[in-house]
């Protein structure tokens, strides 16, 4: 929490200068007298390039997310989907890209901010799949046929599995009444 507060102070400093400096002064520990005398990157650790989730990994995810968002806008304009969370995205990928996306598991839908994201082999792409600017990525976006969870707004098949909470999904029930979900990436 300490690192979050320090970074937050640095981030808001250009916009809320007095507030940032007041926060900075209230944070215990040794640090420069003012937030404006500190380096922005102090305490920020980067992923080692040898790790699986290095900078290249995240750049790839950002590129894929941008491609998906671009296609979602096209589908929204065509009235195929109303919002990102009402969409189901099928990603047809070259093997290396597929491996990168599959490493996120079920969290891919949270990175892409939609209700379902499924990775397929590129050669399985239907003829009407959208070609993206990324080599080795085609997309097929459709409106979800599932109900919308009242709490998280995701469209899933498990709405109402708990009779105590008939309008929310199992994930939300677990987050409210159980131990909650464990996420690693998003």
Question: Residue 46: pLDDT band by 50, 70, 90 thresholds?
Answer: low
Window from 50-54, 86-90, 105-109, 147-151 with minimum mean pLDDT: 50-54
First vs last Cα of the chain: how many Å apart? 18
The CA-atom distances, in angstroms, between 33 and each of 27, 28, 49, 88, 185 are 11, 12, 34, 50, 35
Does residue 51 sit within a domain?
no
Asked whether residue 44 is domain-assigned, the answer is no
Does 48 map to a domain?
A: no
Residue 45, in any domain of the structure? no
Residues 96 and 162 in one domain: no
| Residues linked to residue 140 through DSSP beta bridges, in sequence order | 90
pLDDT higher than threshold 90 for residue 172: yes
Widest CA span in the chain: 62
Within a domain: 46? no
Cβ-based neighbours of 45, under 8 Å, separated by 6 or more: none
Q: What is the pLDDT of residue 154?
A: 97
The mean of the pLDDT values for the chain is 91
**What pLDDT band is residue 53 in, cutting at 50, 70 and 90?**
confident
**CB of 68 closer than 8 Å to CB of 139:** yes
User: Pick the residue with more confidence: 96 or 29?
Assistant: 96
Q: Are residues 77 and 116 both part of a single domain?
A: yes
Q: Is residue 70 part of a domain?
A: yes
Question: Do residues 87 and 118 both lie within one domain?
Answer: yes
Q: Looking at residue 33, what is its pLDDT?
A: 86
Each residue of 113-152: pLDDT tens digit?
999 999 999 999 999 999 999 999 999 999 999 999 999 9
**Structural contact between residues 149 and 169, judged by C-beta atoms closer than 8 angstroms:** yes
Tell me, what CATH number does 78's domain have?
Answer: 3.30.2320.20
Task: For residue 183, tell me if it sits in a domain.
Answer: yes
What pLDDT is attached to residue 32? 85
Q: Provide the pLDDT for residue 119.
A: 98
Number of folded domains that form the chain = 3
CA dist., res. 110 & res. 148, Å (int)? 16
Whether 156 and 170 share a structural domain = yes
Label residue 147 exposed, middle or buried (CB < 10 Å: 0-12, 13-18, 19+): middle
Domain extent for 134: 56-144
- Verify that 94 and 110 share a domain, yes or no: yes
**Domain membership flag for residue 154:** yes
114 and 184 part of one domain: no
Q: Residue 65 above 60 pLDDT?
A: yes
């Amino acid at each position: 929490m300490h690192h979050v507060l320090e970074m937050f102070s640095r981030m808001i400093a250009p916009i809320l200068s007095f507030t940032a400096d007041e926060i900075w002064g209230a944070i215990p520990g040794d640090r420069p007298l003012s937030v404006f005398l500190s380096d922005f990157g102090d305490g920020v650790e980067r992923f080692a390039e040898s790790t699986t989730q290095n900078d290249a990994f995240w750049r790839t995810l950002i590129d894929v997310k941008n491609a998906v968002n671009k296609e979602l806008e096209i589908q929204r304009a065509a009235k195929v989907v109303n919002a990102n969370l009402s969409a189901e995205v099928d990603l047809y990928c070259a093997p290396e890209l597929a491996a990168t996306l599959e490493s996120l598991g079920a969290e891919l839908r949270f990175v892409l901010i939609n209700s379902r994201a499924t990775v397929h082999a590129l050669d399985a792409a239907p003829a009407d799949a959208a070609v993206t600017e990324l080599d080795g990525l085609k997309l097929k976006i459709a409106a979800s046929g599932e109900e919308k969870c009242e709490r998280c707004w995701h469209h899933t098949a498990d709405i109402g599995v708990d009779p105590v909470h008939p309008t929310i999904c199992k994930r939300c029930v677990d987050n409210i009444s159980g131990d909650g979900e464990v996420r690693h990436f998003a």
